[in-house]
């Protein structure tokens, strides 16, 4: 049965430790993608590697650390990367399309809707979209290192309502400890819920040419699962490995989800929007939001931070500063400061607001 899949390949799988593209690796991955394409799958590729591919060409001795140097390397490397993919996929009669995105694109509902429609048309025409971050303009992304495109792949998978996300890495899945340091470490075959324990196990460091470690991949899997997309993290190194990963027998860890794909509005709210403030709520409000499916009322608010306005997105946290979710706020920040802790009738007498709910349940998504 044909499926819609997103495959993510990191820098370390495409380039050498010294930098520059590994043409044999690209040819191999093109063959694996072509195999799924022949099966009728709608294949999308999220790729890293532009900076790693370009820094040698531009004359740097090692991967640059300054933002403007990374941007210059990416400008050179992205062209080389796409040329290599185009040539490799054309051997199978497949056309590839380049799509460059930034975090700002995802935070703007109209822009990300346009990107989504472009991807839909490409898939309709049996073209493989090759998606990368636009490093030459995405200053914040380069500074914050958004997981070597792990997070981007999860956002794309959720946005396009993919059935599966395949994140390729040099480890054959998630272990209880680093198997390179402890031979007694046990592989975790399947995960149904990503707990804090799982995140702690994931650790941190990535390779010298990439920016993503196992933790960023686990966090990407959590975003995908929340969007109704199952994920796989593991190896694709020999012929047929991608098919095995897609069909459930791959060399890695599977992250299963029983959640349904979220509506685009909820996806944008939960994963793409940029919160303009933070609201702290009491225990009663936590229960109402997470268990009762209720709206947030002023009486449950204990504090707020940031300069936000009606219609902005804000984060909601409990007394322990744990993020509960996000929502569209119906108050300006100064209004909420005045209304915090008050009953609804008292707020209606004191403050001129369109809706008494601080966040209506229809404009809320739980992230905890």
Going by the annotation, the residues of the binding site for substrate are 48, 135, 149
Mode of pairing for the β-strands spanning 164-168 and 4-9: parallel
Annotated binding-site residues for ATP read 8, 169-170, 211-217
| Dist. CA 107–CA 326, nearest whole Å | 13
HSE-up of residue 263 (Cα within 13 Å, Cβ side): 6
Annotated binding-site residues read 8, 48, 135, 149, 169-170, 211-217
Angle, to 10 degrees, between the axis of helix 23-38 and the axis of helix 67-90? 50
| Dist. CA 205–CA 143, nearest whole Å | 16
Query: What are 15's two structure tokens?
Result: 């380039």
- Give whole-number Cα distances, 312 to 46, 289, 305, 357, in Å: 30, 19, 13, 14
Residues paired with residue 205 on neighbouring β-strands, in sequence order: none
- Look up tokens 């930098």; give the residue: 19
| Dist. CA 43–CA 147, nearest whole Å | 22
H helices present in the chain, as ranges: 11-14, 23-38, 50-58, 67-90, 103-107, 109-124, 139-144, 150-159, 196-202, 214-226, 241-247, 264-267, 283-290, 333-339, 344-350
| Dist. CA 318–CA 143, nearest whole Å | 29
Query: What are 178's two structure tokens?
Result: 């680093």
Q: Measuring CA to CA, which residue among 131, 137, 140, 168 is closest to residue 252?
A: 168
| Dist. CA 310–CA 358, nearest whole Å | 9
């Amino acid at each position: 049965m044909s499926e819609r899949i997103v495959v993510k390949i990191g820098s370390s799988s495409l380039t050498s430790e010294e930098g520059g593209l590994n043409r044999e690796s690209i040819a191999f991955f093109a063959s694996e993608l072509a195999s799924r394409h022949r099966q009728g799958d709608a294949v999308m590729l999220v790729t890293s590697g532009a900076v790693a591919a370009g820094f040698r060409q531009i004359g740097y001795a090692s991967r640059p650390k300054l933002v403007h140097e990374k941007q210059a390397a990416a400008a050179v490397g992205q062209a080389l990367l796409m040329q290599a993919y185009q040539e490799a996929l054309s051997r199978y009669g497949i056309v590839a399309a380049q799509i460059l995105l930034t975090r700002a694109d995802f935070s703007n509902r109209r822009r990300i809707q346009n990107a989504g429609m472009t991807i839909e048309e490409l898939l309709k025409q049996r073209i493989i979209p090759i998606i990368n971050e636009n490093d030459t303009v995405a200053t914040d992304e380069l500074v914050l290192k958004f997981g070597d495109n792990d997070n981007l792949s999860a956002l794309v998978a959720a946005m396009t309502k993919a059935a599966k996300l395949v994140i390729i890495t040099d480890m054959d899945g998630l272990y209880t400890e680093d198997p390179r340091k402890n031979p007694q470490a046990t592989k975790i075959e399947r995960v149904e819920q990503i707990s804090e324990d799982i995140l702690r196990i994931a650790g941190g460091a990535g390779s010298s040419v990439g920016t993503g470690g196992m933790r960023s991949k686990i966090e990407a899997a959590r975003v995908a699962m929340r969007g109704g997309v199952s994920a796989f993290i593991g190896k694709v190194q020999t012929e047929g490995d991608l098919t095995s990963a897609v069909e459930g027998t791959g060399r890695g860890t599977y992250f299963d989800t029983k959640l349904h794909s979220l509506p685009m509005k909820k996806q944008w709210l939960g994963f793409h929007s940029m919160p303009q403030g933070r609201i702290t709520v009491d225990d009663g409000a936590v229960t109402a939001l997470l268990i009762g499916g209720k709206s947030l009322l002023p009486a449950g608010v204990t504090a707020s931070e940031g300069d936000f306005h009606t219609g902005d997105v804000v984060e909601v946290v409990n007394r322990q500063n744990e993020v509960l979710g996000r929502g569209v706020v119906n108050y300006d920040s100064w209004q909420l400061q005045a209304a915090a802790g008050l009953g609804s009738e008292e707020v209606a007498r004191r403050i001129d607001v369109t809706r008494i709910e601080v966040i209506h349940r229809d404009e809320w998504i739980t992230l905890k």
